[in-house]
């Protein structure tokens, strides 16, 4: 059976996610999020929505971006 690359669980209903050309195997969305979702540079929450990015830095919202000195990003235009 496939083995989850995050928790090591051997699970018959595991699934694969392809990201940047590389396949990853997980037993749950929770494990996929823990392994693949970016982390907000300010509050350290896992970003599972759209989030914001500036020069390779990830933020969950414009408030967090502003806390780190990034002024140009906005949640809504």
pLDDT surpasses 80 at 74: no
- With cut-offs at 50, 70 and 90, classify the pLDDT of residue 75: confident
Average pLDDT over residues 45-74: 92
Q: Shortest CA distance to 26 belongs to which of 48, 34, 46, 49?
A: 34
Cα distances (angstroms) measured from residue 30 to each of 15, 55, 56, 60: 12, 27, 24, 18
Instruction: Give the pLDDT mean for 15-41.
Output: 97
């Amino acid at each position: 059976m496939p083995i989850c690359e995050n928790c090591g669980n051997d699970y018959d209903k595991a699934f694969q996610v392809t990201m940047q050309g590389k396949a990853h195997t997980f037993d749950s969305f929770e494990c996929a999020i823990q392994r693949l979702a970016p982390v907000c540079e300010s509050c350290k929450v896992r970003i599972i929505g759209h989030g914001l990015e500036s020069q390779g830095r990830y933020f969950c919202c414009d408030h967090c971006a502003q806390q780190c000195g990034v002024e140009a990003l906005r949640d809504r235009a």
